Structure 1
Amino acid sequence: MMDRLSRDARALIFTADDFGLHERVNAAVERAHREGVLDCASLMVAAPAAADAVARARRTPGLRVGLHLVLADGAPMLPCAQIPALVNEQGRFGDNMVRDGVRFFFLPHVRRQLAKEIRAQFEAFAATGLALDHVNTHKHFHLHPTVLALILSIGRDYGLRAMRLPLEAGAPLALRPWLALVRARLARAGVAHNDYVVGIAKTGAMDEAAVLDALANLPARGVGEIYCHPALAGEAGEAPITPSMQTYRHADEFGALVSPRVAAALAQAGVRHGGFTDVFFGAASGSGPAASRGAEVQAS
């Protein structure tokens, strides 16, 4: 069972999402871990630069890596012929999450295809040989009860031990019952989770000022996760990493992760930090390429 921190303890996890989406994202993740405060990254296993991300993770043994399940606005792992009810004419998951959520809940044949795709993404992550630090979902789709139930059920076969709880201060009232449901189901399943996140309200704009503000206002207790979407700056006129991220300030988010001011503020905060494996299970529980991270956390 998980060795959860005392409720009076404080800890912090810095995570980069969309690892594997683009080589500029991957390079930023690698550098932000080596040169800055980044603890872990969430891998999109079917994304265009996933192989490059895995290669970088293997040569960066302190970086914890988790699975960023994609079930909306992205590419599937399985061939489209195996999951026709999940993809559009372009062979991608759509971005109408309300419609898709209704279909997941009410249509058995859609749920069967959804389960196959979720298992395929877990299987692809396992095939990398990387230790599974955590699981989360693109656009927080695990707030949907059907998606969450499938992740918890399938994830047991692949060593799932920790997930993101996307609970941020000031969460809309309409979301709070769903967040309470997620928290309760994770607890019943014995799956570790953070107590709060920072990064939803400022998605794509987690720059130095935003991160410094978060560090200056950490709660008195609990495990926090600050997550972001870093990437190195592209050439002039280069297309955005994806059309849905045209307004994201990826380079500013990378800059925050390698900022000396952020590093100093983190040290001043005096919180334990690392990946989910480090924070919840300690160094001895690490395995695979990321095992050495625990020693770094113990020394921090």
Structure 2
Amino acid sequence: MSRSQAATGPARRALIVTADDFGLHPRVNDAVERAHRNGVLTSASLMVAGDAAADAVERARRLPTLRVGLHVVLADGRASSPRSEIAQLVDEQGRFGNAMVRDGVRFFFLPRVRAQLAHEIRAQFEAFAATGLPLDHVNTHKHFHLHPTVLSLLLEIGSEYGMTAMRLPYEAGGPLLLRPWISLVRARLDRRRIAHNDHVAGLAQSGRMDEAAFIKALGTLPDGVTEIYCHPAMPGDDALTPSMTDYRHGDELAALVSPRVAAAMDAMGLPRGGFRDVFPVTTSAVKPALRVL
């Protein structure tokens, strides 16, 4: 539990429930609103260049208890900057590709590409700031912030825009080979006093966080702050993106409004909210002010 665990001893359990890809499509935005009004959703991550970003922002302004963060897109999505400013990052349509290994090598070794990457990250922070919404957290599409260059730029640029929290994409039972790197990322966040969850649920079941998956995650919740993240959307005839053809968006929405899921959370007495509810913004290490919503 970043920012406070060292000072307060063993971490208490707390829960953040986040919908990613807010702003991608009106079907996503509708699901986010429904899941917050009528279910257990406490947080959403905004794609500022998504086709339905303006609609998402309008809905968020009507939902003052929905905590909204920035979902930085550097792969498989639309950029915020004009193509002329970041031509080495995007295709002719101004979209990032999905060759993340190749792009990661370019980010690390090519200064010109890295400069354009910084320009685009700043543009996305700037676009979020222009919404006037409080910045609850930052994460990245497909968890690209595990890349050291991306993480460094997010920490540097995010500090200028009031970033205080970031998702740590570590799921219990995840690959052993990833754990040393996750530990390094955690240490970098802690050194910069960026709050973060201790665990996530939803990584192995991405696109399939249905009611059974939620109930199972709640039944095995570890100590500390857990973020359950998902990708709800209203049902439709077409996949939202080519990479989401097997996502069960409707099942994820059903889980978020499920009385069984809500009852399980209520029975556990879990403090829950957004990152700013779990980790109040302070200038020194303090115990989180956890509240039950």
Please give the TM-score of this superposition, normalised by the length of structure 1.
Answer: 0.91
Q: Is the 8 A contact 2:3 2:193 kept in 1?
A: no
Counterpart of 2:198? 195
Counterpart of 2:270? 271
Question: How much has 1:299 moved relative to structure 2?
Answer: 4.7
Counterpart of 2:157? 154
Counterpart of 2:239? 240
Q: How does 1:18-57 map to 2 (within 5 A)?
A: 18-57=21-60
Q: How many residues align?
A: 285
Counterpart of 1:124? 127
Counterpart of 2:228? 226
Alignment partner of 2:291 out of 269, 273, 298 = 298
Q: Is the 8 A contact 1:4 1:281 kept in 2?
A: no
Alpha-carbon distance in structure 2 between the residues aligned to 1:242 and 1:8: 38
Alignment partner of 2:91 out of 85, 88, 93 = 88
Alpha-carbon distance in structure 2 between the residues aligned to 1:171 and 1:149: 24
Alpha-carbon distance in structure 2 between the residues aligned to 1:173 and 1:298: 33
Q: Is the 8 A contact 2:272 2:292 kept in 1?
A: no
Q: Is the 8 A contact 2:3 2:194 kept in 1?
A: no
Deviations 1:52-88 (A, max 9, x none): 0000000011100000000000000000110011012
Q: Is the 8 A contact 2:239 2:245 kept in 1?
A: yes
2:4 equivalent to 1:4: yes
SS of equivalent residue, structure 2 residue 160: helix
Alignment partner of 2:182 out of 154, 175, 179 = 179
RMSD between aligned residues: 1.8
Q: Aligned partner of 1:198: which letter?
A: A
Deviations 1:225-247 (A, max 9, x none): 0000000112xxx2211111010
Identity rate, percent: 67
Counterpart of 1:249? 248
Q: Is the 8 A contact 1:16 1:42 kept in 2?
A: yes
Q: Is the 8 A contact 2:75 2:141 kept in 1?
A: yes
Deviations 1:97-125 (A, max 9, x none): 00000000000000000000000000000
Counterpart of 1:17? 20
Alignment partner of 2:168 out of 165, 180, 193 = 165
Alpha-carbon distance in structure 1 between the residues aligned to 2:21 and 2:192: 26
Decide whether aligned partners of structure 1 residues 61 and 27 sit closer, same or farther in structure 2, where only a CA change above 3 A counts. Answer: same
Alpha-carbon distance in structure 1 between the residues aligned to 2:292 and 2:40: 14
Alpha-carbon distance in structure 1 between the residues aligned to 2:73 and 2:11: 34
2:77 equivalent to 1:74: yes
Alpha-carbon distance in structure 2 between the residues aligned to 1:29 and 1:147: 27
Question: How much has 1:169 moved relative to structure 2?
Answer: 1.2
Give unmatched runs, 5+ long, in structure 1: 286-293
Q: How does 1:282-297 map to 2 (within 5 A)?
A: none
SS of equivalent residue, structure 2 residue 78: coil
Question: How much has 1:155 moved relative to structure 2?
Answer: 0.3
SS of equivalent residue, structure 2 residue 156: helix
Alpha-carbon distance in structure 1 between the residues aligned to 2:111 and 2:292: 50
Q: Aligned partner of 1:40: which letter?
A: S
Please give the TM-score of this superposition, normalised by the length of structure 2.
Answer: 0.94
Question: How much has 1:139 moved relative to structure 2?
Answer: 0.2
Give unmatched runs, 5+ long, in structure 2: none
SS of equivalent residue, structure 1 residue 273: coil
Question: How much has 1:268 moved relative to structure 2?
Answer: 1.3
Alpha-carbon distance in structure 1 between the residues aligned to 2:206 and 2:22: 16
Alignment partner of 1:142 out of 145, 155, 160 = 145
